[in-house]
Amino acid sequence: MDNRPDSSTPRPLQTMPEHLNTAEKGLNENHAVIDEPKPFMPDLLTIPAISVKAGIQPVSLLENGQMDVPDNTEITGILFPGVLPGGKGNVIIDGHVDSYSGPAVFFKLKKLKQGDKVIVSSKTGRQLTYIVESVEAFTPAEAPMERIFGETGERRMNLITCTGRYSRKKKEHEKRLIIFTKLDGEL
């Protein structure tokens, strides 16, 4: 007697084949399964167009509601808690434009243009590329806070630094430079 199951009888799978496991995948416009990135805490920011390669450290909001910046002017800060690269929403990374001793990490940020790449990576090998959509400057009073910091169903990253003249009286630059980017592949 043959104890083998009838080949026409469906058998349950022990594990879902990897190409069919859609728990962390989505569908593209052709209904093909695509990987969706998992959010991660980055360690390094690279912007090839302006030769930036800088560390990233978590920063939080200050008591006055403003985003903190790293003490080291050659390091960038990622708003945390907040959206992390790969997550839906606005990842926020800031950095100094200059210091009393000269240019800082985001000194050349204003030279970025549409289509330039901004890459975030981690020591574990995770890496995502964002593409610059626009480079815009605002006075603090004019800044579109919802567009910069608000919720969105897209995977975005906004880079922030100071720009314009420095007021010694106010101890700040007159404007904020925002680089609006979107995760590569979602343009």
List 19, 31, 96, 173, catalytic entry: 96
CATH of the structural domain 37-183, one choice from 2.40.260.10, 3.40.640.10, 3.30.360.10, 3.20.10.10 = 2.40.260.10
Asked if the model's pLDDT at residue 22 lies above 70, the reply is no
Round the average pLDDT of the chain to a whole number and report it: 84
pLDDT for res 172:
79
Q: Which long-range contacts (CB under 8 A, 24 or more apart) does 76-81 make?
A: 76/45, 76/105, 76/106, 78/41, 78/42, 80/41
pLDDT band at 168 (very low <50, low <70, confident <90, very high): confident
H, E, C per residue of 120-184? EECCCCCEEEEEEEEEEEECCCCCCHHHHHCCCCCEEEEEEEEEEEEECCCCEEEEEEEEEEEEC
pLDDT for res 185:
66
pLDDT band at 5 (very low <50, low <70, confident <90, very high): very low
Task: Indicate the domain borders of the chain.
Answer: 37-183
Q: Which residues pair with 17 in a beta bridge?
A: none
Q: Clarify whether 31 is annotated catalytic.
A: no
Proportion of the chain above pLDDT 70, given as a percent: 80
CA angle 49, 53, 58 (to 5 degrees): 125
Q: Clarify whether 173 is annotated catalytic.
A: no
How does pLDDT run across 40-85, given as a tens digit for each residue? 999 999 999 999 999 999 999 999 888 999 999 999 999 999 999 9
pLDDT band at 95 (very low <50, low <70, confident <90, very high): very high
How does pLDDT run across 100-146, given as a tens digit for each residue? 899 999 999 999 999 999 999 999 999 999 999 999 999 988 889 99
Query: What's the pTM value of the predicted model, to 2 decimals?
Result: 0.79
pLDDT for res 82:
95
